Structure 1
């Protein structure tokens, strides 16, 4: 089981820690299942960069960065060395630990 802390760059949002999270789901799925807003214009199939996040802790607990994901991260707003796509950060089976992510301000997307 995993413990995942979501931090937010958006003003007024406090960090949220979720415990007892099962493996084999993406950080995007975990966020959406827990009413945490994380845009996903392509539906979570690694075809855009709107579920961009910063993986601060737990890099070894999610699937590795693929070339395709890296290409889309290059298109994200304010990418950093810790940038990942939430749809591609799938929690590994047979593991457990703490994952910490920071979500960019979701109001920066059109339609907000």
Structure 2
């Protein structure tokens, strides 16, 4: 089981901690299941950059980034070295640990 710490760049939103997260789920799925807003215009198929986030801790619990994901991250608003797409950050099964992510300000995303 994982613990997912979520920080927000959007003003007025306080960090949250989600405990007892099972592996095999993407960060995007975990957030959506808990009614936490993270845009996902392409329907979670790695065909856009709207679920862009920053992995602050625990990137070793995800599969390595693939070229397709890197291409879409290049199109994201304010990409950084720790940028990933939430739909591609699938937590490894049979592991546990703490993952910390920061969600960019969702009010700045176009195409919603």
TM-score by length of 2: 0.97
Divergent runs of 4+, >4 A: none
Cα distance in structure 2, aligned partners of 1:23 and 1:77: 28
TM-score by length of 1: 0.97
The equivalences for 1:14-53 within 5 A come to: 14-53=14-53
Asked if 1:89 corresponds to 2:89, the answer is yes
Q: Deviations over 1:26-60 (max 9, x none)?
A: 00000100111000000010000000000000010
- Structure 1, unmatched stretches of 5+, are none
Alignment partner, residue 7 of structure 2: 7
Q: Deviations over 1:56-79 (max 9, x none)?
A: 000101111011100100000000
Alignment partner, residue 107 of structure 1: 107
SS of the aligned residue for 2:87 comes to: helix
In the TM superposition, residue 110 of structure 1 has moved relative to its aligned partner by: 2.6
- Structure 2, unmatched stretches of 5+, are none
SS of the aligned residue for 2:19 comes to: strand
